[in-house]
Structure 1
Amino acid sequence: MIAKNRSIPKEIEMYEAIIRRLPANHPRKAEFENKLSRKKAGYKGEKELDYHISQINHSSFTILHDIRIPYNDTHFQIDTLFISNSLMIPIDSKYYAGTLEFYPEFNQMIQYLNGNEKVYPDPILQTKIQGRQLEAFLRSHQFSPPPFEPLVAITNSQALIKNPTQNKEVSSRVFKSPGILYKIRPYLEKYQEEVLTDQDIKKIVKLLLRKHSPYLPDLTELPYSDFQKGVECPACNTIGMEKFHSLWGCKKCGHTSKDAHVAALKDYFLINGQSITNRQFRDFLGIPSIHQARRLLSQLDLIITGEKKGRVYTPGKNF
């Protein structure tokens, strides 16, 4: 059973909004474009692993994708977690390209790509640490978890995995996405003793879902004044559509839209936080009328708190 599906990370949506709203010549635009590219590549690899997971029998496992749990003034993140009555398998997904050489004895992995050599922390050690953090977290909530067997999925199909020292742990824990079933099967056969009841698993899943805290980039160093204000044209992507009665009109290409303001409001929430006032709405979208702004806001799935000038709007469940 899949208890938590993988969805597009909020981080990707935030980076996309930042890139849309930063001027072309902004000194940090390329930085966020690179961050978005890396995050999208990683997400693509995770979805590829999810496909192969979907092809195996789930009856023995409860599966959670992409959980991030606060613990001891920090957070630990697990890309995919298998939970059974006798075993937990945290899986760390890595979308590395090129040739990858694993050296667990030195806690490092070396990537060779386009004639360059780059050293990364050992992914096996990383996922072991995540497993230990999860174990400590569960014990702090009065659970006695079963054994952990961490795995590392290399999700880039073009990557070449090498194990120069013939380390047995690399062979047993590192795999390409299509081999997920054959990688977990030996551990299923090894661990037969049931440690968790079905009720225990339900309680653990409920706890993890309740504690899940998605990563959000810190945008405090980007002043509000750096971002372009206005409604973006859905046809030509020019920012600065004008409101004409019930329609938004683009001065550049002539496209009209009834709801182009919705995307602009979503950009505001992604960049500036989860609340907006009528004045902020008018300022960001370029709406001169307080009454027109109130009418547009009232038509959306927003939660309204406060009265008159103190009224604040936050996204509803389906916004």
Structure 2
Amino acid sequence: MIAKNRSIPKEIRIYEAIVRRLPVNHPRKTEFENKLSRKRAGYKGEKELDYHVSQIDHSKFTILHDIRIPYNETHFQIDTLFISNSFIIPIDSKYYAGTLEFYPEFNQMIQYLNGNEKVYPDPILQTKIQGRQLKAFLTSHQFSPPPFEPLVAITNSQALIKNPTKNKEVSQRVFKSPGIFYKINPFLEKYHKEIITNQDIKKMVKLLLRKHTPYLPELKELPFSDFQKGVECPACHTIGMERFHGLWGCKKCGHTSKDAHVAALKDFFLINGPSISNAQFSDFLNISSIHQSKRLLSALDLESTGSTKGRIYTPDKNFRLWE
């Protein structure tokens, strides 16, 4: 059973809004374009792993995708988690390209790509640490979890995995996404004793879902005044549509839209936080009439607090900010 599906990370939505709104010549635009590219590649790899997870028998497992749990004033994240009555498997997904050489005896992995050599922390050690943190978290909540068997999924199909020292742990714990069944099956054969009941698993999953805290990047170092204001054309992506006769019109390509302001409002929320005043809405969308802004805001799925000039709008549960 899948208890938590994977959704597009909120980081990606935030970085998309930043890249959309930063001017071409902004000194940090390339930095955020690179962050967005890396996050999209990682998510693509995770979805590839999810496909292969969907092909195996779920009857013996409860599966959670992408959980991030508070721990000792910080957080730990597990890309995919298998929970059974007899063992738990945390899986860390890595979308590394090129040739990957694993050296767990030195707690490192070396990537060779385009003639360059780069050293990374050992992914096996990373997923072991995540498993240890999860075990400590569950124990602190009065659970007695079964054994942990951490795995590492290399989700880039073009990556070449090498094990120069023939380390057994690399062979046992590292795999390409299509091989997930053949990594999990040995544990089904190894562990037979039921350590936790189905009721325990339900309580455990309920706790993890309640404590799950998605990561949101800090944007305090980016002044809001750096971002381009206006409504983006959904056809040619030029920012600066104008409002006339109940429609938004693009002077560049001629496209018209009834609701292009919704995407602009989402950009504001993603960059500046989930609240906006009528004056901020008018300013960000370049609307000259405060009354027109109020009408547009009132027609959306928003909650409001305060009155007259002090009214603040926030997304309600039907406003699809993260989609």
How far does residue 307 in structure 1 lie from its aligned partner after superposition?
2.0
Distance 1:315 1:206 in 2: 26
Among the aligned pairs, what percent are the same residue? 85
Aligned-residue CA RMSD (Å)? 0.8
Distance 1:107 1:244 in 2: 62
Distance 1:9 1:74 in 2: 19
Normalised to the residue count of structure 1, the TM-score between the two structures is 0.99
Q: Give the structure 2 partner of residue 219 of structure 1.
A: 219
Q: Give the structure 2 partner of residue 253 of structure 1.
A: 253
The alignment status of 1:113 with 2:117, answered yes or no, reads: no
How far does residue 293 in structure 1 lie from its aligned partner after superposition?
1.0
> 5+ unaligned residues in a row in structure 1: which ranges?
none
Q: Give the structure 2 partner of residue 141 of structure 1.
A: 141
Q: Give the structure 1 partner of residue 46 of structure 2.
A: 46
The alignment status of 1:186 with 2:207, answered yes or no, reads: no
> Matched residue of 2:314: which SS?
strand
> Matched residue of 1:295: which SS?
helix
Amino acid at match of 2:115: G
* Matched residue count: 319
Amino acid at match of 2:295: R
How far does residue 254 in structure 1 lie from its aligned partner after superposition?
1.4
> Matched residue of 1:78: which SS?
strand
Q: Deviations over 1:112-135 (max 9, x none)?
A: 111111000000000000000000
Amino acid at match of 1:116: N
The alignment status of 1:242 with 2:242, answered yes or no, reads: yes
Q: Deviations over 1:175-196 (max 9, x none)?
A: 0000000001111111111111
Amino acid at match of 2:56: I
Bigger drift between 248-257 and 225-234 goes to 248-257
Normalised to the residue count of structure 2, the TM-score between the two structures is 0.97
Distance 2:137 2:49 in 1: 26
Amino acid at match of 1:131: G
How far does residue 308 in structure 1 lie from its aligned partner after superposition?
2.0
Q: Deviations over 1:234-276 (max 9, x none)?
A: 1111111111131011111111110000000000010000111
Aligned pairs for 1:58-69 (under 5 A) are 58-69=58-69
Amino acid at match of 1:151: L
Q: Deviations over 1:24-82 (max 9, x none)?
A: 00000000001111111100000000000000000000000000011111000000000
Aligned pairs for 1:124-163 (under 5 A) are 124-163=124-163
Q: Give the structure 2 partner of residue 280 of structure 1.
A: 280
> Matched residue of 1:251: which SS?
coil
Q: Give the structure 2 partner of residue 271 of structure 1.
A: 271
> Matched residue of 2:276: which SS?
coil
How far does residue 211 in structure 1 lie from its aligned partner after superposition?
0.7
Amino acid at match of 1:220: K
Q: Give the structure 2 partner of residue 97 of structure 1.
A: 97
Distance 1:265 1:145 in 2: 45
Distance 1:247 1:283 in 2: 18
Distance 1:203 1:272 in 2: 36
> Matched residue of 2:275: which SS?
coil
The alignment status of 1:88 with 2:85, answered yes or no, reads: no
> Matched residue of 2:35: which SS?
helix
Distance 2:298 2:20 in 1: 26
How far does residue 317 in structure 1 lie from its aligned partner after superposition?
1.6
